[in-house]
Structure 1
C-alpha cells in the first residue's frame, strides 16, 4: 500500500503535465522520477511519450524499443505504451504489446479486452474472433460471445474471404449457427443482438427466416421497436407484394405525407398488376391505386403534398408501362399545374416539380413554364401582394429557367433583369424587414435565379452608381455578369460582380450563397488573397473540409503563395488524421456498448475519409510544397525529408478504392441542362482527371525522394538506382496513358460549374521531359557514366525552355489589355514553371551540400 501511494504521487505530476500540454515539464518530472526508481517501466514510457510530443522522435523510438523488449505486463505501462504507438500510428505494435502481456497473464480479462480492441484497430478479424472466444471462456458473458460473432461476420463481408463466395457463405453460416445456439439456450437479451442476427440472415438472403424471426415471439419481445421500414424491405425482397401493399395502405392512412411510402405503394400495385395475383385488401390495379390516392386527398384534415406527388408518380409509372395514363389521371401537364396551384407557395415546390420534369415531353416544357407564370398572375408591372404570392412567382421562375424559357435575346433579357430587380427590391422592402442577421431575405431567390440570364453591357458610370446606390438588390446581376464576361471574353463584369457581392455581404453577412459565388469568381480570375479571405469567412469545419475543400483548398497550388496554402493544408490534414484516429476509437466503443448496427457505418465512414481523393491530393501537395520551400541547412532538409516517410519504391495509394466525397450541390443552381445526368457526368469526368493529377503528383514526390536517396545513401546505392530506373519507366508510361486518354476540360458555360482540373495545366508545362532528364542525370552521375555530361546538357536545355516559357507568359500577360481575364491561366503556367525549376535546383543543392 505504501509503494502504491508513492507511485501514484510520483506519477500524478507527469500525467498532469502531459494532459495540459506542458511536455517539457513532463519530461523533467519523468527524469526526476527515474533517478529515484530507474527500473520502473512506466516512468520510462512516460518519458518516451513526452519526447514524442516534443518531436524528439529518435530518442523516443530508442526508449520505446527498450521498453517493448522487456515485455511489460502492468496496466499503467501498457496504457502509456499504447499512447506512444498511437502517436506514431503504429497500431500493429499495440497488438504485439498486448499479445506478449497476455502470454504472461493468460487469465487477465482486462489485458485480453485491450488485445481484442487492438486487433479491431488493424482489422484483424480472425485474431479478434480468437481473443473474443478466449474472453468468453474466461468470463461467459454475452458481449464477449457476440464480439466473436461480429468478428466472423466482418471476416465474411470485409475480410479477404469476402471475395470468395464459398468461404463467405461458410462464414455467414457459422455466424448464424453461433447465434442459433444462444437462441436455443435462451441467452439472447439485447436489441443489438437481434439486429445482428437479422443482418446475418439478410447477408445470406434468408429473408423469410428474417421476417419470421422479426414477427416471432422472441423478436417482438426483445426488439419491439423494430422500424416498419425493415418489414417493408423484407416483404419487397420476398416479392410478397400483397402484404406489402396492405401494410403501406395502413401506413399512408396514418401518415399520407410520406413520399417514400407512396413510391413503395405504387411499386407494389405495379407488381401485383403484372403478376395478376389477387390479394385480400390489396390494390391490384391502377384504377384502385388512383381511387386510394383520391381518398387520401379528400379525407385529409389538411392538404399535404404526398398524395398529389403520388398521382404524378402513378402517371409516369403508367406511361412507362405503355398504359393510358391520361385517360385515368388526365394530362400530365395539367397535374403539374394543379400541384403548383396547391403548393407553389412552398419553397420545396420547384424541386418537387423538377423531379417529374424529365417525364414531360421536351416540346411541352415551354408551355408548362408559361402556364405557371399565368397562374401566378404577376407580370413585370404587377408586384406580389404577400409572401405566398411572391414565393409562387419565384417557384414559377425557377421552373421556367429549368425548362429553358430564359434563352432570350439580349433586349428581352435586359427587360427581364429590370423586372427581377424591381421584384427583389419590392420583396426586400415589403417583406424583408425585422430580419435577424442570420436570416435569408424572402426575395433572395430572385437574385439567385436571375444570375443565369444574359444582359447587354452598359456604361461604367451607371455600373458604379448601381453598386453604391442600389446595394443588395443587385446581387441579381452576379451570374449575369459572368455570362457577359464569357461572351465578351473580358473580366470587367466579373469585377463588377465581386463589388456587388461584397456590398451584399456587408448588408447580409450570413448569406453563404454570396460567399460561395465570391470564392468561385476569385479563383476564376486567379485572385488568391480574395479567395483566402472569403474561404475564411465561410468557416469550413470538420467533414466540410473534405466535401467542400475542392472549392478552395484544391485550387491553392495555382495561387503560388505558400503562406496561404500551408495553413490550409495543415488544418485539412489534421482533420483527416484526427478523424481516422477517432474513428478507430468509435469502433472500440461500438464493441464496448454492443452497437453492432453502427459498426459498419463507422467503418464505411473511416474508409471514405482515408481513401478520399481530396485527402490524397492535399497530402501530396503538402509534400511537394515542402520540397519547393526547403531552403535551410543540409541537415534540416534531410530531417524534413525523413519525416515525410515516403518510400520511393512503394506506391501506397489503393487507386481502385479512391472515393469522390465532393458535394457539388452546395452551390444552388437552376441551369437548363441538356440531358438529365449532366451534373453527374461532369463530376465523374472531373473525378477521373483529378485522379490522374494525383497519380502524377504522387509519383513526382516519390521521384524526388528517390533522387535524394540515390545521392545521399551510399550503403543502399545499388538498390536506390534500381528504384529510380523503375520510376523512370513508370513515369513515362503514366504520361503516355494520360495523353492517349485525351481528357477535355470541364465546361465553363455556367458560373457554378466545376473549375477545370489542374491536370491540363500540368500537361502543358514541361514536367515530363524535365523530370526524365533529371532522373537520367542522377543515374548517370551516380553510376559514373561517360554520358553524364549529355544528361546535364539536356537538363540545361530544359531550364532554357522553362525560362523562355516563363518570359513569354509574363510578356504576353503584361501586354494584355485585360489583366484579370487571363490571370488564372498565366499564373498557373508561371507556378508550374517555377516548381519544375525548384525541384531540379533542389537536387543540385543536395549534390553541392554532399
Structure 2
C-alpha cells in the first residue's frame, strides 16, 4: 500500500531528530519490514521491542501500522489487535504516546483504516485536551482533521489555537474552515457558523483602529468571501449562487445583516444590509487596488456587481463604465470584459440580471438601456475598424455578434443584421481554425431565410484551389458550417461527400509537406469531415463498409499527424464498435493518459469495456487499463487531500476553496463509479475477483445504490471529438459510442443488480424503472437479477417458480444471440456484448469454504455469477447455524457441502441451489459453440473488406496493398476478440 509506505518513511524521517541512536536503530528494521510489506516480520520485531520496553511509543505506533497490512481484507482479529494497541498507548506511561504527534498520526490512521473513525477523532481530541500547550500537536490535529474532511473539528481547534498561541495565522485557518463548512448553502447551521466568522473578523480588526486596507491579498480574499456568504445567506435576496457554491440558500435562513466594521466598510447609520455591504466592499479604493493587481479579484468583482447590483444602485452602469474605459483607453482585449460590458448594458435595459447561460425574452427595454446598448455597439464597431489590434483581435467583432444575438433573442429592435455580421466575421477571420466554434452560437439564432443567404457566402469559400494554408483553413471552416446546417443526407449522399472530403484532404496534404513530425497537417480536418460523413452513411444504411472506410482513412491520417487526437478518438470509437479491441487499446495507449486525465478520458475504453475483458493469452486487454484507473483514483484522492492541506500550510488562502472543490469533485466522480462497476464486470468475466475485491465491491455497490441524481459530478470529456454532423441528426459521439451513454441512473441500477448477488440477504428489492441509458442486454440482465435474487432467498415451496423465471433469461439470451449472429447489419460489439452479458451472469467467483481448526479459509476460483449469489446465500445460511454446529464439518470443501452437514432443511436448500446452478449452465451453454462459429465467419471477411474499400484505391496512397494490410489487421483483431470470448464461454460452461 503506497500510503502505508509514505507514512512509515515520513515517520522514520521525523524520528531521526527525536530518538537516540540506539532507539533509532531499534525501529529501523521494523520500518524496513513495513515498507517491504512484510507484516509478519514487522510484528515479530515490534513484539520483541515491546517486550523490552512495553511503553515505547514508536513501537506501539509501528505495530498498529503493521497490523493494518497483516491481512486483506482486514480481519476481525486484526481490528481487535489494533484497538488493543491503541488502548495500551493510552494507558502506558500515563499516555505518553499521545503526547507524540508523529506516533499519534500512526495510531489515528490505523484506527481509521480499521473502520473506527470516531475513535480516531476521540483519540486526537483527548491528546490535544491533555496537552493544551503543545502547539505542534495541535497543528498535527488540525492537519489530520483536514485530511479526513472534518472541517468542523478543524475549525474548532484552529479557534482554540488562535486564542491559545496568539498567532494571526490560526485566525485565518478558523475562518477558512468555517467557509468550507458553509459554502454549500444548505448547511443547517450556516447562519450560526457565519456569525462566528463575522465576530472573529470584527474582533481582529477592532484591534487595528483606523485601518483602511488589508495587509495581504489573502486577507482581502477571506473578507470578501465572508461578505459574499453573508449576502448569499441573507433572506433579503436570493441571487444566483457562485459557481463554487452548490445550492441556493433556504428562504428560512435568518437574516445576516448585523453591522460589521472592516477596513473597507466603516460603520454607517443605519447599518448596511448584507447585500449592500458586499457591494460597498468591492466599490472601495482598496478593492480597486486589489482588482488592478489580480485579474481573479476583478472577475470576482464583476460577478458580484452583476449578480447583486441594480439599476437604482448604479452598479451595472458603473460596471459598464469601468469595462468600456478599459477597452477604450487601456487596450483591454479580454473577451470576458467585452461580454460583461454587453451583459451590463442588457441588465440596465431590462432592469434585471440575466444568466450567462442564456438570456430569455423580456419586457420592453428602457430607453436608457437601449441607448447604452447602442453606445456599446458603436464602441465595439469603432474598435473593430480602427484599433491597431483589429486585424488579429476577434473579440471586437464577436462582441458585435453578441449584441445582435442578445437583441434578437430578447426580441428588441435590432441595429445590425445578424446574418450580415456572421458573413463579415467569416470573411475577416475565416482563416482561423477557431472560426467554426466562434460562429456556432450566432448561426444557431439565424432564420431559415438568413441561413439560405449565408450558404451562398460559404459555398463561395469552398470553390477555391487549395494552394495556401489560409485558403485551406477557410475552406475547411466553410465545409464544417455547410455540413452543420444542412439536413441529413442519404447513405449515398454521405458517401459521395466523404469521397469529396477525402479528395480535398489529399489535395491539401502537400501544404504541410515541410512540417516537422510533431506538427499537425493543415488538411487533417478534411479527413475528419470525411470520417464523420461515412459514420453518418452507416447510420442510414447499417453497412459496415462505411465504418471500415472511415477507419482506413484514419489509419493513413495518423501516420502523417500522430498527434491529431480527434481522429484517433474517432478511430478508437469505431474500432470498438467493430470489435477490434486490441487495435483500439493500442491507439488509446498512445495518448499516455495519466493523472486527472483518467477521470476525463478513461471512458474512451472503459465505457462498457467489460465486453472486451477477455482477450487472447498474449494480447494486452482492457483489464490492466481498468486497474490503472482504479489505482489512480486511490492515489489521486490522497494527493488531492494533501494539496488541500498544503494550501493551509503554505498560506495559499486564495486557493483553499479551489483545491477543496477539486478534492470533492474527485471523491464524487461519476466516472469513478462507472469504472468501479466495469472493473467488477471485468473481474467476473476474467475470473480475477478475490476476497478483498468482493468485500470492497459490496461496500461500494451499497453506496452507489443510494445515490441521488445530483450526488456525483461528471467530468468525462466529450468535447475532444468535435461534432460536424447535421444539427438535425445525432452528434458524432452518440453515433460512435457503444450503446447509450452510462449515467448516474445506469450506475445506480447496475449497482443494485450486482448487489443482489453479492449480498442476497441485504439487497434492496424495491423495483425501479430501468433507465434508457441501459442497453437491451443490460435491461435483460437487471430483470434477471431480480428473478434470480427471489430464487436465492425463496423458501422450498416457492423456489421452483422463481427459478424458472430466472432460467428463462438464459434461454432468451441463446435465442437473441442466434438472431444477432444471423443479422449482417449488426456490429460485432452488439454480438459480443450479448455473449459477454450472458457469460457475466454465468461467470464469477465461486466462494469455497473450508473450516480448519475452527477458522475460515476463503479460496476463490472463476465460475458463475449466479453461483456467486448461491455461494453468498449459502454462507449466510451457514452463519445462521448455532455456535456448536459451526466448524464441525472438517471434510467439507465447499459452501454447499458445509450447508448439507447438519440441518435437513439446509441440506434440501443446498440440493436445490446446486440443481439451479446446473440448470443455468445447461441453458446458456449453446452460446459457446455459436460464438466460436461466429469467430470463424469473421476470419473469412478479409477479402470482403478489401472489396468494400475498392473505392479508396482512386487515391494513390491508399493502394491495394495498404488496404489489404489494413483489412488483415482489422479482421485479426476482431477474430481474436470473438475467439477469446468463445473459448472462455466453452471452458466456463463445461461440466
Displacement of 1:140 in angstroms is: 0.6
Q: Distance in 2 between matches of 1:2 and 1:131?
A: 25
Q: Quick check: 1:829 aligned with 2:900? A: no
Partner of 1:306: 395
1:438 matches 2:518: yes
Aligned with residue 243 of structure 1, among 318, 323, 329: 318
Aligned to 1:457: none
Paired position in structure 2 for 1:661: 715
Cα distance in 1 between the residues matched to 2:604 and 2:835: 22
1:342/1:554 Cα in 2 relative to 1: closer, same or farther (>3 Å)?
same
Report the equivalent of 2:455. 369
The 8 Å contact of residues 612 and 659 in structure 1, kept in 2 or not, is answered as: yes
| Paired residues of 1:95 and 1:115 also in contact (CA < 8 A) | no
Distance (whole Å) between structure 2 residues aligned to residue 761 and residue 2 of structure 1:
62
Corresponding position of 1:795: 803
Determine whether 1:706 maps to 2:713: no
- In the alignment, what sits opposite 1:150? 176
Question: Residue 320 of structure 2 contacts residue 344 of structure 2 at CA under 8 Å; is this kept in 1?
Answer: yes
- Cα deviation code 1:660-710 (max 9, x no counterpart): 222221112112213999999999x966x6333322322233322323xxx
Counterpart of 2:551 in structure 1 is 498
Residue 116 (structure 1) aligns with: 142
Q: After superposition, give the CA deviation of every residue in 1:475-498 in whole Å (9 maximum; x if it has no partner).
A: xxxxx2x33333332323323433
For residues 388-399 of structure 1, what are the structure 2 equivalents within 5 Å?
A: 388-399=470-481
TM-score, length basis structure 1: 0.80
Q: Does 1:426 align with 2:514?
A: no
Does residue 287 (structure 1) correspond to residue 294 (structure 2)? The answer is no
2:501 is aligned with 1:448: no
- Given candidates 213, 232, 238, the residue that maps to 2:302 is 232
What residue is the counterpart of 1:52 in the other structure?
A: 68
Moved more, 420-429 or 563-572: 563-572
1:190 Cα deviation after fit? 2.9
- Structure 1 position 773, deviation (Å): 4.2
Rounded Cα–Cα distance in structure 2 between residues aligned with 1:672 and 1:334: 23
Q: Distance in 1 between matches of 2:505 and 2:187?
A: 58
Q: How do 1:605-620 and structure 2 match up within 5 A?
A: 605-620=662-677
More helix by percentage? 1
**Structure 2 Cα separation of the partners of residues 545 and 450 of structure 1:** 29
User: Offset at 1:85?
Assistant: 4.9
Any conservation in 2 of the 1:49–1:84 contact (CA below 8 Å)? yes
Residues 1:761 and 2:777 are matched in the alignment: yes
How much has 1:346 moved relative to structure 2?
A: 0.8
Q: Structure 1: 5+ residue runs without aligned partners?
A: 454-479, 708-719, 745-756
1:258 aligns to what?
Answer: 334
| C-alpha distance in structure 1 between counterparts of 2:225 and 2:721, whole Å | 38
**Deviation string, structure 1 residues 208-246 (Cα, Å, up to 9, x no partner):** 423433454665778872433233333333222221121
Q: Do structure 1's residue 544 and structure 2's residue 624 form an aligned pair?
A: no
Structure-to-structure mapping, 1:622-633, within 5 angstroms: 622-626=679-683
1:272–1:278 Cα contact (<8 Å) kept: no
TM-score, normalised to structure 2, is 0.69
Query: What residue number does 1:107 align with?
Result: 133
1:417: how far off?
A: 4.3
Instruction: Tell me the equivalent position of 2:201.
Output: 179
Cα distance between partner residues in 1 of 2:785 and 2:285 = 73
How many Å separate the matches in 2 of 1:426 and 1:544?
Answer: 35
What pairs with 1:316-465 in structure 2 (closer than 5 Å)? 316-325=405-414, 328-329=415-416, 331-374=417-460, 376=461, 379=463, 382-404=464-486, 407=488, 416-429=497-510, 431-453=511-533
Question: How far is 1:142 from its partner?
Answer: 1.0
Whether contact under 8 Å (2:476, 2:526) holds in the other structure is yes
Offset at residue 388 of structure 1 (A): 1.2
> Aligned with 1:552: secondary structure?
helix
The corresponding residue for 2:635 is 578
- Write the deviation string for residues 633-672 of structure 1: whole angstroms up to 9, x where unpaired: xxxx666644556399876743241222222211121122
Q: Determine the structure 1 residue equivalent to 2:937.
A: none
User: Where does structure 2 lack aligned partners over 5 or more consecutive residues?
Assistant: 1-16, 91-96, 232-273, 352-364, 843-863, 875-894, 899-991
Query: Which sits farther off after the overlay, 335-344 or 551-560?
Result: 551-560
Distance 1:639 1:395 in 2: 54
Q: 2:821 touches 2:831 (CA, 8 Å); kept in 1? A: no
Match of 1:848 among 882, 892, 896: 896
- Measured after TM superposition, the shift of residue 849 of structure 1 is 4.4
Contact 1:190 / 1:222 at 8 angstroms: preserved in 2?
no
What SS is found at the alignment partner of 1:153? helix
- The structure-2 alpha-carbon separation of the partners of 1:334 and 1:397, relative to structure 1 and needing over 3 Å to count, comes to same
Helix, strand or coil at the partner of 2:743: helix
